[in-house]
Structure 1
Amino acid sequence: MTGSHALENEFSLLRQWLFEQALPLWSTAAVDLRSGGFFEWLTEEGAPVEEPRRARVTGRQIYSFAIAERLGWDGPTRDLVRHGLVSLEGFIGTNGFVVPLKTVDGTVLRHDFDLYDHAFVLFGLAAAVGTGEQCVRLEALAEQLRGRIQAHFAHPVAGFQEGPRGSVVLKANPHMHMLEAALAWEAISDDPAWGALADEIAELCLEKLIDPKTGALREFFDHDWNLIDEAPGDLVEPGHQFEWAWLLKRWGLSRNRPDAFRAADRLIWVGESFGICRERGLAFNELNGDLSIRIGTSRLWPQTERIKAHVISYATAVSEQAAETSALLAVESIRALRRYFDYPLRGGWHEYIDVEGRPIRNNTRTSSLYHIICAISEVADLIDTGNARRQHRQVARAASF
C-alpha cells in the first residue's frame, strides 16, 4: 500500500472517531450551560471538573466547533460557536485586554498581560467569522485587540514583550500562536495589517528564534532576542519543531520564500532525529539545547503537530519519493496519536504516555481538542479536496522557488 492510500485509511479512522465519539462528548459534557463557557476537564466517568476558566480554552473550543462544521459533522456547531463567543467576550476586560484566568463566577484571578491568551482570543474570533458569524462586529473587535497589543507591548526589534523591558524573558510559543492567528485572519480579512503581522513574526522566527548551531527552534530569549544557553532556558520542544515548521511552510508558500521551507525542513529533521522515541514511536516532551533528552514522557499534542508537519510536507513535496516519505511519516504520526484515544471515557483521551509506553491515568483535558481537530482538518484538506490535484498545484509552486 502506498503512503497516500495508507494516509486515506488513517484519515477515515480519525474522522469516524471524531464524529462518532469525540464531538458528541465534548459538545455536551464539557459545555457549561449554567455559567457559560466550557469546562476545562472531564473525569473518566464524563463528569465536568469545576476549575477556573482560561481565555485560551474558550478560543480553542470556538475554533474546534467551527472546524467540526466545516468537516461536515451534523451536530449543533453554530450554537456552540455562539455559546463560546458569549464567554470569550467576557474575558475582555474594561481596559480592552484579555483577562487570562477567571473563576466560574467571573472573578478575575490574573491581571497580567499574557500574549498566549490574546493569540487564542484572536484565533477564536477568526474561526467564528469564518463560519459567517457576526463578521463585521467580530472583525472590528479583533482589529481593536490587535491594535492595543501592538501599541502597548510591541518589542523594539520585533514581536512582543509581556512586561517592562528586561523584566521578563521573551518567549517563542505565544508568538507561534500569534502567527497562527494572523494567518487565519489574513485568509478572511482585507486588512493588510494581518499579513504584516504574520510577516513580522515569521521573519523573527527565521532571524532570531532558531539556533544557528543546531537548526532547532528555541523557546526562551533575553530582552534582545538572544538565545539563553543555560538550563532551563535552553529548552527545545520537539512538538514545537513540527508546529513552527507547519506554520513556516504555510507562510513560505504564500510568500514564495524558499528560505522558510529550508528552515522548516531543518526543524522537521531536528524533531524526527532527536525528538522521537523510536521504541515507542512517540515524540518526547522536551530536549535540552544540545538536543539531548530532558523529559522523556510524551504528551498528546506533539503527536498532532508531527502529523501537520508531515501532511504539509507531503502536499508541497518536490518529488514522488519525498511525497511518499512524508505520507508514511504522517501515517506513523496518526497511529501514534490514536494510542492516546484508548481512554476509559468514550471520546476522551489520555494526556501523557510514560517512558515505558503506558498511559498516565488522569482526567481528560478539554484544550487538547483543538490540537486533535486541527490535525484532522489538515489531513482532510489534503484528501477531501483531491490530493493529486492539490499536490500537483503545490509542487509546481514549490518548484518555482
Structure 2
Amino acid sequence: MIEITQTANIRFSDVTNWMDQHALPFWATTGYDADRQVCRESLALDGSINDPGFRRIRALARQVYVYSHAEMLDWNGPAAAIAETTLDFMTRHGWQGPDKGWASRLDDNGRVIDGTPDLYDQAFALFALAWRFRATGETAYLDLADQTLDFITDKMRAPDGLGYLEQVPPTSDERCQNPHMHLVEALIVLAHCRRSTRYLELATTIVDLYEFRIVDSDSGALREIFGPGWNVLASEAGQITEPGHQFEWVWILNEYEKAGGRKVDALTDKLFKFAASHGLAPETGLTYDQVLDNGQVAKGSFRSWPQTETLKALLAMGERTGKFELNRIAQVVDNVFQYYLAHKPIGTWIDQLNSGREPTSTYIPSTTLYHIYLAFAELRRLEPAIRSQTS
C-alpha cells in the first residue's frame, strides 16, 4: 500500500462540482425522457439521445436512487420529480404483482419485454424503494418493498436453503454471488427505514453464507460463479474474481456493521487484502476487471465502476480504522477524472478502457451514475474526517 502522508490533494471541490453542476443536470434533461417521464437507459457516445429500445428495471431503479439521494443532499434541481416519475413508470409497468415480482425489461412505452423475475432486478427495486422512502418518508414505498421481499423469500429461495435463485424458473444450476451482494446492500438501507429486525436478519444469513462458504477462507478470493451448493467449479469460469466486487463488499460490510450487524472484521480484511494485492495495475493504480483466484490477471481491461468501488472501500476502511489512506484516495479520484470523466459533454463518462488504457466504450450506460454518485457522495460525507487527519 502507498504510505499515508499529509500532502495528498484530494479533489473535493471537483467532485462536488461534477455531481451538482454537471452530472445531475445533464441526466435530468438529456438523460430524461420528458415525453414518457422516465429516465433513459443509455445515450450515444457523443451524449446525444439514442435509446436502445428497452429499459431495464435495474437501470431505472439506479436512477431513482441517484435522484433520491440528491434530493436528500439538497441539490438545487428537480431531483424529486425525476425520482418520482421514474419510480412511477417502473412500478406501473414493471411490478407484476406479489406472485410474479418485478419484470426484468420493458420497452420504451412500458410494455414488458422480459417478465422473468431476476434476483438482481428485485434487489435494485428494493434499493430504489428504500431510498425513495428515505427521501420522502412515504410508507407506501416500504409496503411495496416488503411485498418485493416476500416474493424473494417465498418464490426465489434456493431449494437447498443457501441463498436465493438468480432467476425463477432457474435457467442454470450455477450460482452467482453478485445479485446476493446487491440484495444485502438493499437490506441494509431498509434496516435504516423501518424498525424491524427482518431486514438485518436476512442480510446476516447472506453475510454468513459469504463468510463460511463463498469467500475463500485462505486467500480471501471472492469467486463470481459457483456450482450447485456453492461448490467451486473446476472450469476457468469458476476461478474468476472481480476486484471491483471485492472492494464493493468491503464497503457493504462496513455499512452492515454500522446498521447493527455482527462484527465481520476478518471477512472485510480478507476481501480487501486480496483485491488490493492482486487487483490493481502497478503503474496506475487502476483496478482490473478480472483476476483469477490465484491472483493472475485474467482480464486486464478497466471498467469505470471498479474504480469507484475501490474508492468506497478505501473510505470504508478509513472510517472503520480511523486512518485514511490519503494518497490512495487521491490517486483513485484522479484516475476517475482522468480516464473516465474527462469525456464530453461534461457529466457523462467513458465506461470501459482496454488493457492499454484506450477507450473502448461505444455508448454511455446510465447505470454507471449509481456507482459514481454513491462513491462521490461517500467522499463528501467523510470529507470532514479526512480533512481532520491532515490538520
* TM value normalised by structure 1: 0.89
CA distance in 2, matches of 1:69, 1:2: 34
Structure 1 residues 36 and 184 mapped into 2: Cα distance closer, same or farther (>3 Å)?
same
Given residue 373 of structure 1, which amino acid in structure 2 is its aligned partner? Y
Give the SS at the match of 1:42. strand
CA contact (8 A) 2:64 2:86 kept: yes
CA distance in 1, matches of 2:261, 2:135: 29
Aligned ranges for residues 219-258 of structure 1 at < 5 Å? 219-255=224-260, 257-258=262-263
Give the SS at the match of 2:234. coil
Given residue 151 of structure 1, which amino acid in structure 2 is its aligned partner? D
Q: Displacement of 1:316 after TM fit?
A: 1.4
Give the SS at the match of 1:364. strand
Q: Displacement of 1:208 after TM fit?
A: 1.5
Structure 1 residues 282 and 360 mapped into 2: Cα distance closer, same or farther (>3 Å)?
same
Q: Displacement of 1:40 after TM fit?
A: 1.4
Q: Displacement of 1:281 after TM fit?
A: 2.3
Note if 1:30 corresponds to 2:35.
no
Superposed CA RMSD in Å reads: 2.3
Q: C-alpha deviations, 1:24-60, integer Å up to 9, x for none?
A: 1111111112223221112243322212100001110
Note if 1:186 corresponds to 2:191.
yes
Structure 2 residue aligned with 1:50:
51
Equivalent of residue 67 in structure 2, options 65, 68, 71: 65
CA distance in 1, matches of 2:67, 2:170: 38
CA distance in 2, matches of 1:148, 1:361: 36
Note if 1:266 corresponds to 2:267.
no
Given residue 379 of structure 1, which amino acid in structure 2 is its aligned partner? L
Given residue 11 of structure 2, which amino acid in structure 1 is its aligned partner? E
Structure 2 residue aligned with 1:347:
347
Q: C-alpha deviations, 1:117-144, integer Å up to 9, x for none?
A: 00000000011001115x2211111101
Note if 1:153 corresponds to 2:156.
yes
CA distance in 1, matches of 2:366, 2:122: 19
Q: Displacement of 1:256 after TM fit?
A: 6.7
CA contact (8 A) 1:209 1:219 kept: no
Structure 1 residues 165 and 85 mapped into 2: Cα distance closer, same or farther (>3 Å)?
closer
Give the SS at the match of 1:224. helix
Structure 2 residue aligned with 1:327:
326
Structure 1 residues 84 and 164 mapped into 2: Cα distance closer, same or farther (>3 Å)?
closer
* TM value normalised by structure 2: 0.91
368-377 vs 81-90, which deviates more?
81-90
CA contact (8 A) 1:39 1:49 kept: no
Given residue 276 of structure 1, which amino acid in structure 2 is its aligned partner? L
Give the SS at the match of 2:235. coil
Given residue 25 of structure 2, which amino acid in structure 1 is its aligned partner? P
Given residue 78 of structure 1, which amino acid in structure 2 is its aligned partner? A
Structure 2 residue aligned with 1:138:
141
CA distance in 1, matches of 2:361, 2:254: 36
Structure 1 residues 145 and 328 mapped into 2: Cα distance closer, same or farther (>3 Å)?
same
Structure 2 residue aligned with 1:337:
336
Given residue 17 of structure 2, which amino acid in structure 1 is its aligned partner? Q
Q: C-alpha deviations, 1:230-270, integer Å up to 9, x for none?
A: 11122100100100111112223444744x12221221111
CA contact (8 A) 1:252 1:261 kept: no
CA distance in 2, matches of 1:362, 1:285: 18
Return 5+ residue gaps in structure 1 as ranges: 391-401
- Number of equivalenced pairs: 382
Q: C-alpha deviations, 1:281-317, integer Å up to 9, x for none?
A: 2111111232211110100000000000000111111
Structure 2 residue aligned with 1:204:
209
CA distance in 2, matches of 1:253, 1:346: 35
Note if 1:367 corresponds to 2:371.
no
Q: Displacement of 1:5 after TM fit?
A: 7.0
Q: Displacement of 1:388 after TM fit?
A: 7.6
Structure 2 residue aligned with 1:288:
292
Give the SS at the match of 1:282. coil
Given residue 327 of structure 1, which amino acid in structure 2 is its aligned partner? L
CA distance in 1, matches of 2:5, 2:345: 31
Given residue 328 of structure 2, which amino acid in structure 1 is its aligned partner? L
Equivalent of residue 90 in structure 2, options 88, 94, 108: 88
Structure 1 residues 84 and 106 mapped into 2: Cα distance closer, same or farther (>3 Å)?
closer
Q: Displacement of 1:22 after TM fit?
A: 1.1
262-271 vs 238-247, which deviates more?
262-271
Give the SS at the match of 1:48. coil
Q: Displacement of 1:105 after TM fit?
A: 2.4
CA contact (8 A) 2:191 2:259 kept: no
CA contact (8 A) 1:165 1:223 kept: no
Structure 2 residue aligned with 1:128:
132
Structure 1 residue aligned with 2:281:
277
Given residue 353 of structure 1, which amino acid in structure 2 is its aligned partner? L
CA distance in 1, matches of 2:226, 2:361: 34
Structure 1 residues 389 and 335 mapped into 2: Cα distance closer, same or farther (>3 Å)?
closer
Give the SS at the match of 1:287. strand
CA contact (8 A) 1:310 1:327 kept: no
Q: Displacement of 1:377 after TM fit?
A: 1.3
Q: Displacement of 1:2 after TM fit?
A: 7.1
Given residue 119 of structure 2, which amino acid in structure 1 is its aligned partner? L
Structure 1 residues 104 and 256 mapped into 2: Cα distance closer, same or farther (>3 Å)?
closer
Give the SS at the match of 1:118. helix
Structure 1 residues 230 and 87 mapped into 2: Cα distance closer, same or farther (>3 Å)?
same
CA contact (8 A) 1:311 1:327 kept: no
Q: Displacement of 1:163 after TM fit?
A: 4.2
CA contact (8 A) 1:3 1:331 kept: no
Given residue 326 of structure 2, which amino acid in structure 1 is its aligned partner? A
Return 5+ residue gaps in structure 2 as ranges: none
